[in-house]
Amino acid sequence: MKNNDKGRCVVLFLNKKKLFQLDRRLQTCASMVRENHVLADIGTDHAYLPIWLVKKEVIKKAIASDINMGPLQKAAFNIRRYNVGKQVDARLSDGLELIFPNEADDIVIAGMGGELIADIIEKAPWLKDAEKHLILQPMTSAPELRTYLSEHGFAVKQEQAVQDGDHIYTVMQAEYDPEHVQTGQVFPYIGILKADSDENKAYIQQQCSRLQKRVNGLRQSGKQEALANQTEQILEQIQQVLSQAE
């Protein structure tokens, strides 16, 4: 075999490297990314999401960013490993600080707390553009994130609960649309979820359990009866969402 042939074989092998499977959490994020749009994956998890989307030909270009050099180096290694260096750019950035408005239109911010996600959005005013498509997956503080979105003109367009191991999370797709923001006492807790799947039901039930514990704690304190009653009213409204699906 000639040396040139050997080189071609190596490239062919790299191009055919078996692609990994995304976990359920990232699969759900991937399902909300629009075809042929440019992705910015903020706080990227080893660049798995952008690599997978490029290899599946959902998108042609992406930025995989992280605030820390260690995780970014792991992302860069995977980008080389799967031979997508021309399509995926590994970038050191604090949130969206070094991502410019014309560089990406689908923004994934996943795997971090809801308050941190809100802070990242707050520091990027260019996201207040109906063409920008936010895909958000908070690990904690989802009610705080939903409240932030509502108060700052972002409407949730899609939402799906996802079971990943022993934990259940929510993935939401939002965009700037001040005329259609969600309001009301229930929205911060369950967003626009409907009890139409086992995962959605499990997430809603989890919120009911947390609210019930809060009501019990407030009642036991003996000093916050008004707040306990208000919280119980929210709980009852959420329970109605579950009962309507039965």
Q: Give the model's pLDDT for residue 128.
A: 98
Give the phi and the psi of residue 187 in degrees, each rounded to 5. -50, -45
How many CA atoms lie less than 13 Å away from 39 in the CB half-sphere? 35
Query: Can you give the pLDDT at residue 13?
Result: 41
Query: What is the residue-wise DSSP string for the chain?
Result: --HHHHHHHHHHHHHTPPPPPPPHHHHHHHHTSPTTPPEEEET-STTHHHHHHHHTTS-S-EEEEESSHHHHHHHHHHHHHTT-TTTEEEEE-STTTT--TTT-SEEEEEEE-HHHHHHHHHT-GGG-STT-EEEEEESS-HHHHHHHHHHTTEEEEEEEEEEETTEEEEEEEEEE-GGG---SSSHHHHTT--S-SHHHHHHHHHHHHHHHHHHHHHHHHTS-HHHHHHHHHHHHHHHHHHHHT-
**Beta carbons within 10 angstroms of residue 205's beta carbon:** 15
Q: Which amino acid appears at position 17 of this protein? A: K
- Tens-place pLDDT, residues 102-111: 999 999 999 9
How far from chain centre, in Å, is Cα 97?
18
Residue labelled with tokens 């705080």: 144
Calpha distance 224→152 (Å, rounded): 30
Angstrom distance (rounded) from CA 175 to CA 173: 7
Under 8 Å between Cβ of 169 and 121? no
Per-residue pLDDT tens for 160-199? Answer: 999 988 999 999 999 999 999 999 999 999 999 999 999 9
Alpha carbons 76 and 78: distance in angstroms, whole number: 5
CB atoms within 10 A of CB 217: 12
- Whole-angstrom Cα distance, residue 83 to residue 246? 49
Residue stretches of the chain with pLDDT short of 50? 1-14
* Tokens 């367009």, residue located: 157
User: Which single residue is written with the structure tokens 């904690």?
Assistant: 140
- Bridge partners (DSSP) listed for residue 154: 176
